Amino acid sequence: MSTTPEEIKTSEEHFRRLYEETPLPYQSLDEKGRILSINRAWEETLGYTREEVLGQFIGEFHAPGQEVKLSKAFAEFLACGLVDRVEILFQCKDGTEKLFSINGRIAHDGQGRFLRTHCILTDITDIQKTEMELLQKNAELHSLLDTIPAPVYVMDRQLRYQSVNQAFLAFMEISAEQIIGKTDADIFPPNTAKEFESNDYKVINDGRIFTDLEQAVSDPAGTIRWFSTTKTPVFDTNGAVTGLVGVSFEITEHKQAQERRLDEEKTHRETLVREVHHRIKNHLQGVIGLLHNLSQSGLPAEEALNKAIFQIRSIATVYGLQCDTGGGRIKISELLLASLNVYRNTRPAHIVLEVDEVCSMELNREESIPVALVINELITNAVKHASPPPGKQPVVIQFGTTDTGVRLRIRNHSKHLPESLDLDTAATLGTGLKIVRTLLPTKGAKLSLESKSGYVVAELLLEPPVIWSTKEP
């Protein structure tokens, strides 16, 4: 059935209407590149009228510098009859420039002769602008990441490296081309790669975030380096995990310092344990010596036992003060107060302490036990020999400083001292004073006894090297 002229005319009108109304710019060119036709979208997009365009060479409407692209596009037309997405920059009538992606095809007549080229123009100006902005932002991001001294990397869901910064490349001593697209298994030893992948898959599959994850990594020289790593998932607009970002801060020096501290603490602990055992042994030997002396004193069992109790308490007091100071020196004032607190629980007499000023002087650590025992014996003797009966007259303890040390006076109401009493010899001394004479340091300590106005006064002077002032440099 043949087509009537009216039908042909109707079909042509329909085609022309489609040609005019299509939203994309459309043009047709002859074999020399002259414009044969354009549609309304072409006019509206570029701002020219048909009268200004038809018959003109298409290059007249291209932005400067597009000649090579135009020539190449025509060569493709002639070679294969079509062109696919050639990007050409056009210059609009108002002077602005727009980038178009051109798709074209050659039309032939029934004998295969060239008729014209038909081209559809897609405005990609905004797309290119967006792409350029993204490229610029990516460049800025890479520049920023490259300033970070810590290795930074981006992986996809398959744990392939998509991007790394310069710190990462410097640590691995490789180029970006050698790592992009690779996995940990391609660049790390098997055990290390397996450990990394175990945590990475938890980020990818579970959306977990790791912070301060300590990891040991061998550098190319084989040296173990420690890193504190943070791994976070990357999400798309639908909330699906598309990869991960990792940042690793080197903590090798911190780790080594920590290990050194642990070794030092272990050594210090072992030394302290040995020192404690040594001191306990010495203190126990001292206790044994005191008990032995008391066993030879001829005192009644109860009196000897009570004396031993007070002496052991004095040793325990010193030991407790040394523990409080971490094994350091003890202030003489603290020792005196601690000794009185122990004695106050069982003393039969009233004791008055008079302190004329605050004293910061400390005891030589090696003399702490002997001085404590001497003070204990002097207080015990003062209470024991006080008259009238204990409790009626107080035992007065005066404590203060001298130009070179400290002075401790213990005064009790008592009878006169025996005329034969001589501290330099042990012949006429009682058990308590014999202990005092034995324990008294040979340097830096002096003890005197005198009877005055119905009182017996024991005066103990302590000077360096038994004590020293904390005010000294």
- Split at pLDDT 50, 70, 90, the class of 50 is very high
Residue 115 · residue 105 · CB < 8 Å:
no
Please state, as a whole number, how many other Cβ atoms lie within 10 Å of the Cβ of residue 228. Answer: 17
Q: Which CATH number fits domain 265-468: 3.30.565.10, 3.30.70.260, 3.40.50.300, 1.10.150.120?
A: 3.30.565.10
Number of H helices, E strands in the chain: 13, 18
- pLDDT tens string 138-167: 777 777 778 888 899 999 999 999 999 999
% of the chain surpassing 70 pLDDT: 75
The pLDDT score that the predictor gives to residue 51 is 93
- Tell me whether strands 114-123 and 97-108 are parallel, antiparallel or unpaired: antiparallel
Helix intervals (H) in 173-235: 184-187, 190-206
- For 377: left if phi > 0, alpha if psi spans -120 to 50, otherwise beta; the answer is alpha
d(CA 336, CA 243): 71
d(CA 444, CA 362): 13
d(CA 144, CA 88): 34
Which fold does the domain 137-250 belong to in CATH? Beta-Lactamase (3.30.450)
- Split at pLDDT 50, 70, 90, the class of 279 is low
d(CA 159, CA 245): 10
* Domain positions in the chain: 12-123, 137-250, 265-468
Tokens at 209, concatenated: 């975030």
Assess if CATH 3.30.450.20 describes domain 12-123.
yes
Q: What is the pTM (predicted TM-score) of this model?
A: 0.42
Residue 411 · residue 457 · CB < 8 Å:
yes
- Same fold? 12-123, 265-468: no
Produce one character per residue of 387-408: b if its CB has 16 or more CB atoms within 10 Å, e if not.
eeebeebebbbbbebeeebbbb
